[in-house]
Amino acid sequence: MEINPQLERISFLIGTWRGHGRGVYPTIEAFEYDEEIDLAPLGPKPMLRYSQSTWMPGTRDPLHSEIGYVRPVGTDAAELIIAQPTGITEIHTGTIIERRIEFRTVSVERAPSAKEVLSVERRIEVHEGRLTYELFMGAVGQPHQLHLEATLEKSK
């Protein structure tokens, strides 16, 4: 399938990625998780469909999921729009540096019953068939800091 030429700059993200991560935050016990991220062109449109899910290693009990879109902007930028079933939505702008994108929130919105999240930063890099990321967050009265990091391998 041919992809929209506007996606060329972020085409390194395309694929299904699976692997393992770990989470830390002052308000919770450290934890580990397995994860799958799928990034695919949305037909001829200039955007990637993004879906993510995590589960407990060994049991496959679900932990988290989110869906959204990655949209290229010009030659060195992208936008990331995410919705989570926890009632959080995120809009990010990002800078593309070779095969790395650094996203920072423009806005985080939440449903009235959702936990407070004030800021999110996502650093994603693809190198030699591996996608690595770090997610930083400022939430529930805590300053902006590392929350998640993972290494995923391309499965298709």
What pLDDT shows up at residue 1?
A: 64
What pLDDT shows up at residue 156?
A: 65
For residue 137, give the 3-state DSSP assignment.
Answer: strand
Mean pLDDT of the chain: 97
At 64, the amino acid letter reads H
pLDDT band at 146 (very low <50, low <70, confident <90, very high): very high
What pLDDT shows up at residue 65?
A: 98
**Beta strand ranges found along the chain (DSSP E):** 15-25, 28-41, 48-55, 62-73, 77-83, 88-97, 100-110, 117-127, 130-139, 145-154
Alpha carbons 47 and 68: distance in angstroms, whole number: 10
What pLDDT shows up at residue 2?
A: 80
Alpha carbons 102 and 152: distance in angstroms, whole number: 17
Alpha carbons 119 and 98: distance in angstroms, whole number: 25
Span 102-118, average pLDDT: 97
Token representation of residue 43: 């037909």
**What domains are defined for the chain?**
5-154 (2.40.128.20)
Span 118-134, average pLDDT: 97
At 1, the amino acid letter reads M
At 27, the amino acid letter reads T
Angle at CA of residue 105, ends 101 and 110, nearest 5°: 135
Question: Is residue 79 pLDDT above 80, yes or no?
Answer: yes
